[in-house]
Copies of this chain bind each other. A is one copy, B any other.
Amino acid sequence: MARIAYKEKVLSKNDELAAEVRKRLASRGVFALNLISGPGAGKTSLVERTAAWAKGRVRAAALSGDQATENDAERIRSAGIPALQITTGSECHLNAGRVLDLLDCPELSGIRLLLIENVGNLICPAAYDLGEAAKVAVLSVAEGDDKPLKYPALFQRAELLVINKVDLLDFTDFRLERVITNAKHVAPHLGVMTLSCRTGEGLEDWYQWIDERLRQT
């Protein structure tokens, strides 16, 4: 019971900080996405593609969470937008305090779009509000179509499910209709988009979705 009480205290403190992040982002007109997936589903690739699209269109930046290394932020910078790495050490998720600490960094000055790439983990990142406008769940075709049933919390809290690596559909037992049925079973509200960051298939829908949300921000 002590454990549950402690976790509730941590989450309630996080919610306070997330509200502060949300307030500041709103005052600056920033649309922020919190991208959550298991390791290797393609969050960094999606941010790289989005960075290349944003260049010349909209000022954007990224925050990238990992247990170790600066590698992801470097990949994103090479794709054309400023990126800050958050290394979490033994923590398996980002929290709002880490985001709040970085909001006044020069890399984030004047931006309209903030892409937050969470630590690769389907569980705890779903519980920590970062002050984002929307959570996006990313699932790779190679991970299996049963994941929404086994990790329901993320799908329930996300606004959009991006199914990545559709170029692998022919080489796996993953069935699109099955994953969508499973996702809608735990989260009837969830929007679903299918794409491949490797081939570029389906990315236009993603850019259009961001574009529409930017116009509303």
- List chain A positions with a Cβ less than 8 A from chain B: 3, 6-7, 10, 38-41, 66-69, 71-72, 90-92, 119-124, 127, 140-144, 146-147, 149-153, 165, 167-168, 171-173, 198
Contact = CB atoms under 8 A, between A and B. Distances in A.
Given A67-B150, A68-B150, A71-B150, A123 B92 contact: yes
A144 B120 CA distance: 12
A124 B10 CA distance: 17
Contact of A165 (B10, B91, B142, B152): B142
A79 to B, nearest CB: 15
Q: How many copies of this protein are present in the complex?
A: 2
A152 B67 contact: yes
Nearest to A89: B153
A95 to B, nearest CB: 10
B143 A168 contact: no
A136 B172 CA distance: 24
Contacts of A172: 168, 198
A149 B92 contact: no
Contacts of A121: 38, 92, 121-123
The 8 closest A-B pairs by CB, nearest first: A40-B143, A142-B142, A92-B123, A38-B39, A38-B38, A40-B144, A66-B150, A92-B124
A168 to B, nearest CB: 6
23 contacts: A38-B38, A39-B143, A39-B144, A39-B151, A40-B142, A66-B151, A67-B122, A67-B150, A67-B151, A67-B153, A68-B152, A69-B149, A71-B146, A71-B149, A92-B92, A92-B124, A120-B150, A120-B151, A142-B142, A168-B168, A168-B172, A171-B171, A173-B198
A97 to B, nearest CB: 11
